Amino acid sequence: MNRNYRQVSKYFFIIFLFALLGCGSNTNQIKKPEKVPPLNVLYKAAYKFFEDGDWNDSILLFQKVETRYSFSEWAPKASLMIIYMYYETGDSFKTLENIKKFKKLYPKHENIDYVDFIRALTFYENINVISRDQTYTNSALKEFKKIISNYPNSMYAEDSRLKIDLINEQLAGKEMYIARYYMKKSKWAGAIKRLSIIINKYDQTIYSKEALHRLVEIYYNLGNINEAKKYASILGYNFNNSKWYKKSYKIVADKNYQIEKAETKKKLKDRLKKLFEFSK
């Protein structure tokens, strides 16, 4: 334990002791302002607590840096440390609260992209399973998109893109979950609507193949063989090696059925846009 660390620990112990003694004294007694160690001693002690894993005491001392040395260059650094520790301990409320304060005090800080990234990650870490409410999912998606838009050259932009891909999988999974439920209840219109959302908005996710197959199933069961074949051919053109195409082919195959051949490749959502105009 270094000398500065011992000094500041002793110093705060004395302050704490006097505070306790003062509780039983005359309430009319004039209170003297609290004495705080020099900035370098205080900050080093706070960081030492952080390194030792004593984050509660670390946060308390960093908060002292924030308030007593608010005009120093170390105040925003102390704030960043506090944000990080609250995020790592899973205290979402405190994390977002301190982020809000930081952005208000230091809107042009050089590490503002890091602060926004932690905000996005806080929502991301609270994403529920696909069968539950997706409020945090949508919030995380919004925040990651902001990072890419506001800080395209930031080191956090690429990670944000990867997170967006994972979030889209989550949101597509939610739509598929609901679509399957509607299919079990024979609510075909509701199922078609959810499946169309997957194909139009989340065509790059793992659920796009299943969505096309489910449309084949629905239209075939409704007796609309032409529509069933249309979706099966689109599925075959884009994913002819998938298990979902093989299942669809078994449903609609006959001697007159052929896989649709397109002259040029287009994005799935562009090729299907006109097919879903009726469901809007």
User: What band does 13 get if pLDDT is binned at 50, 70 and 90?
Assistant: very low
Average pLDDT over residues 123-137: 81
- Angle CA(131)–CA(136)–CA(142) in degrees, nearest 5? 125
Comparing CA positions, the residue from 135, 140, 190, 193 lying closest to residue 165 is 140
CA distance 117 to 256: 55
Same domain flag for 194 and 159: no
144: in domain: yes
- Note whether residue 264 is domain-resident: yes
Q: Which residue has the tokens 């926004």?
A: 116
- Domain limits for position 238: 187-280
Q: Tell whether 192 and 270 lie within a shared domain.
A: yes
User: What does the pLDDT average to over 159-178?
Assistant: 94
Quickly state the pLDDT bin for 22 (edges 50, 70, 90): very low
- What is the mean predicted confidence (pLDDT) over 110-116? 95
Task: Return d(Cα 78, Cα 76) in angstroms, integer.
Answer: 5
Residue 2 lies in a domain: yes
Alpha-carbon distance 132 to 130, whole Å? 5
Q: Do residues 241 and 207 touch, judged by C-beta distance below 8 A? A: no
How many Cβ atoms are within 10 Å of 92's Cβ, its own excluded? Answer: 15
Mean pLDDT of 154-174: 94
Average pLDDT value for residue range 121-140: 84
Nearest-angstrom CA–CA distance, 243 and 101: 51
For the cut 60, the answer to whether the pLDDT of residue 173 exceeds it is yes
Q: Are residues 206 and 151 in the same domain?
A: no
pTM over 0.95: no
Number of domains in the chain: 3
192: nearest Cα among 204, 182, 201: 182
| pLDDT tens-digit readout, 202-253 | 999 999 999 999 999 999 989 999 999 999 999 989 888 889 988 998 888 7
Q: Does the residue 124 lie in any domain?
A: yes
Helices assigned H by DSSP within the chain:
3-23, 39-51, 55-68, 74-88, 92-105, 112-125, 135-150, 157-184, 188-201, 207-221, 225-239, 243-252, 268-272
What angle do the packed helices 74-88 and 92-105 form, to 10 degrees?
Answer: 160
Domain boundary residue among 170, 185, 200?
185
Does residue 119 carry a pLDDT above 50?
A: yes
Cα-Cα-Cα-Cα dihedral sign, residues 167, 173, 207, 142: negative
Predicted confidence (pLDDT) at residue 273 exceeds the cutoff of 70:
no
Task: Round to whole Å and give the CA distance between 103 and 107.
Answer: 5
At 255 the pLDDT is 39
